[in-house]
Every structure is written in C-alpha cells, then in structure tokens.
Homo-oligomer: A and B are copies of this chain.
Amino acid sequence: MVEFRVFQSTKKIILQAKMFTSILRNSYNTNRVAFNAIRSFSTAQKPINVNSLVVEKTKQPLPKFTDKNKLIFGKEFSDHMLEIEWDINNGWSAPKISAYHNLSLPPSASVFHYAIECFEGMKAYKDKEGKVRLFRPMENMKRFATSAERLCLPSFDKEAVIELIKKLVLLDQDWIPEGKGYSLYLRPTLIATQKSLGVSASNSALMFVIASPVGPYYPEGFKPVRLLADDRFIRAWVGGSGAFKLGSNYAPTIFPQLDAAKKGYSQVLWLLNDYVTEVGTMNMFVLWKNNQGELELITPPLTDGTILPGVTRDSILKLAQQWGEFKVSEKNFTMSELAKAIKEGRVKEAFGAGTAAIVSPIKSINYKGEEYPIPIDAAKGAGPLTSRIADTIMGIQYGEIPSEWSVVLN
C-alpha cells in the first residue's frame, strides 16, 4: 500500500505507532459508551430476594482436603453452591443454596456458542479468632454488574448477592483452611442460558457461586517470575472489552501463555503497540525513578478500556497514596521506555497485582530477544515495596490491621 513509502525506518514506524496509540488511548474516554443504558427490563421483574433463599443442605458431604498444603488452585470445591436463575419475563427466581452439583443445560445454550459469560474472583479468610472475613466484596459486585451490562445480561441488587455469598461462606466455613495465606476462593459467575443459536441478547441467565479452598500463592516466600513481552499477541484493545471480566478475554490468552511457558517464562507481559498493559491475568505495577528523577509507582490507567479494573490494583493505589512517600501515577508507559529505564538502573521494582497472589514480583522481562533484569531482594524474593504491599493487604484481609476493607461475617 502507498502509505508504506511514507516511512523511512522501523524506528520511525514504532514512533508513529506510539503516537497513534497514544491518541487513540487518550481520546477514547470522551466518547465512552454508556453500557448500562442499552437494555430496559420490565419493572414487573422480580429483583433478587434474600428472604426467599432456599437452603438444601447436602446429604453427601464431599471429601474434605486432609492436607491444606497440597491444595491446588480451583481443583476442589466446598459442599455447597449458590444458584439464582433469571429470565426476562419473571426476573430473578428464589435464590438456592444446595449441594455442589453439575449444571444441566441444553446444548443450544448461548454460553456454549457465543461466550456470553462473566465472573468474579474473591476470597473468604479466617482470622486468628476464627472470624470469617471478606475483602472489599462490594468492589467485586460493582465490577460483576458492569461485566453483566457489557454482555446485555441482567442487572442485580449487589447488596443482595453479597448477603447470599455470606450465607454460602458461613454454611461452608469449615472449608476455609486456617492460617495466614489460606482462604476459600469464591467464584461468582453469570452465564447466558438462552436455548437458541441466534446471536442476540439472552432472555435467560444463571448466576452461580462456587467456593474452592486454596493455599497461599507463595507457600515458601515469593518466587519472582520472568516475563515474555510478546508483541505478536494483544490481550485487549481500544474499542474492545478488556475492561470487563468476561470469559471472552481469557480464551485467546491460553495459547500465548502456553507458548511463553514453553520458552521458559512464567507469564506474558501484554503490550498494546508497545504500551505495557497487563501481566498474565494481573495488573502491572512498576516502581521507578522517572525522567524527572522522582520515585514513582506507575500502573496503566483505566481510561481507554483496555485495563481490567482490579480490586487489588485499586487497593495498592489507595494504600500508596495514603503512605505519601513517593509519587503514585496511573499513566501509560511503553515497553521501550521501561527497557531504557531498566538499562539505566532506574527501575527499582516491578510486580503483577491480583486476587490470587496479591502481588507477584517480576525479576526479568524478555523484550525483542533481550533480557531485562529487575532488582529483587535475593533473600525475600521481592523488593521492599512489593513485600510491604503484600504484608499490608494480607494484614487487612486477616484482620490484623484494622480497616473498613475487611468485612467480618460472624
């Protein structure tokens, strides 16, 4: 094509790419879409009613884990699950907690064909006094609701779903392994169940919550990871759906992740035309000395719809702002900028952030065939800020540090 001739060198192409991406990313905010306005449901529809909850306790308790140190993430599930059905004529049916069981769905259900599905990841913790706690559950519910709106799935009373999750957790509280770092992972999920192959908004849906006992992400201290910045794949793009927790954001990442693993890297560092966006299934943070010589914690902003608004991400930003010890910025940065800063010794720490690990320290990034090492405290396996964040958030989660973020259930 004729436009090729305009450019003289690869360097210039990259520069153009950055310029364009920058414009696109910065301009997106202004014409943002009001996703919640698209589908109006009848006011006759029933909302979720906590008082109509039906609890059918299991008659065949599942074999519980005998060694909490052998738990594998998301493999074992607790005795019970929560289900709430929805259809466009009647709204939400009576919530039900019953024995963990298979779902029975017609093969035509749209969840199997068009990936109309979204989910959340959150945890229940048992503190030293045996009290059960959740961490910022309303943040998960808010995001769950926006994901549902993005898929034209029904809205719901967020408080009601939290109440129902609390009841499930309390019923299965023996499934929360004891000890710091252990928890019961909760997976609220919403799937489209419409029995039709037409590509359209679903007129029926099922919300369910399952619970899986999990051990600490790092049972023996941090294990810093090596990343592959693979520019062949883009996780999310401006005008796509990367800001929502949809199943559809995950399927295409399996291949790049497996490819990175085969090459000896733990995770993919996702780039968008050289801009750093996320790491594996986590948000990305860097502590560096910026070009102005200031110590600064940076993470990409939520403005252009390519970044998942992580609850851990938000918590880290709020904590760091409270500490007030260094600059805290949500801003775009490129892998080229990051590579340059690493070479100049300006990068102090880098880590991923998410519910599963809280923080996952990064020890190096492979970018265009070159390895960029990031400082790590060899004894701890993480830098001081990374450790401090992990300690603080865990302290809050297990009730050792008083905070509104930790919600006691009993």
Chain A contact residues, CB within 8 Å of chain B: 1, 3-4, 6-7, 13, 16-20, 22-24, 26, 31, 33, 35, 38-39, 72-75, 77, 81, 100-108, 111-117, 119, 150-152, 185, 187, 189, 191, 195-201, 208, 210, 212, 231-234, 237-241, 246-255, 257-259, 262, 273, 281, 332
Contact = CB atoms under 8 A, between A and B. Distances in A.
**Shortest Cβ-Cβ A-B pairs, 6 listed:** A74-B197, A234-B239, A115-B247, A248-B248, A115-B115, A114-B250
B20 A20 contact: yes
A106 B117 contact: no
B112 A201 contact: no
B232 A262 contact: no
A254 B152 contact: yes
Copies of this chain assembled into the complex: 2
A108 B247 contact: no
Nearest to A332: B1
Given A1-B22, A200-B257, A248-B249, 8 more contacts: A1-B26, A4-B23, A7-B19, A74-B196, A81-B107, A102-B107, A111-B111, A199-B254
A239 B239 CA distance: 14
Nearest to A106: B102
Contacts of A119: 113
A253 to B, nearest CB: 7
A197 B201 contact: no
A300 B212 CA distance: 46
A3 B14 CA distance: 13
A35 B73 CA distance: 27
Contacts of A281: 199
Nearest to A238: B234
A208 to B, nearest CB: 6
B254 A208 contact: no
A105 B112 CA distance: 11
Contacts of A31: 232
A6 to B, nearest CB: 6
A207 to B, nearest CB: 11
A111 B112 contact: yes
Given A102-B107, A189-B107, A201-B254, A7 B35 contact: no
